[in-house]
Amino acid sequence: MAVFRFLSAVFLLVATVALVVDATPASYGVGSFHATSLAGHWKELSPSSFEVARRAVVEASPWLWGNLIGPLLEVPTFVAFGALALLSGYAGRRRRTVRIFVN
């Protein structure tokens, strides 16, 4: 359970950093708020690996990329990692102990 709580903290940190990166231009008055998608961040960090992954999935199943993976990668980064933080936090929560006494 501690692993899920740790992952929740890491995912929340990534979500917070992504939100700050997206909101910084708006807070300085340089531009408006623009939420960057997972695909956008992936293309910025490593465009070659994004293209290799896209080509591999499209060759295996074009339907999979067009209907499942592609739309998932268009979700804003802070939303995706925030959802992962919530899910892993819920999975790692401390459970209440139930004591049953039978006479």
Average pLDDT, the chain: 92
Name the residue with tokens 């990668």: 73
Q: Are the beta carbons of 78 and 38 closer than 8 angstroms? A: no
For 26-39, write each residue's pLDDT tens digit.
Answer: 888 888 888 999 99
Model confidence, pTM: 0.83
Residue 103 has pLDDT above 80, yes or no: no
Q: Which distant-in-sequence residues (6+ apart) come within 8 Å of 86 by Cβ? A: 8
Percentage of residues of the chain with pLDDT beyond 90 = 74
Buried-state track 14-26, b at ≥16 Cβ within 10 A, e below 16: bbeebbeebeeee
The pLDDT tens digits for 46-93 are 999 999 999 999 999 989 999 999 999 999 999 999 999 999 999 998
Comparing CA positions, the residue from 66, 5, 14 lying closest to residue 38 is 14
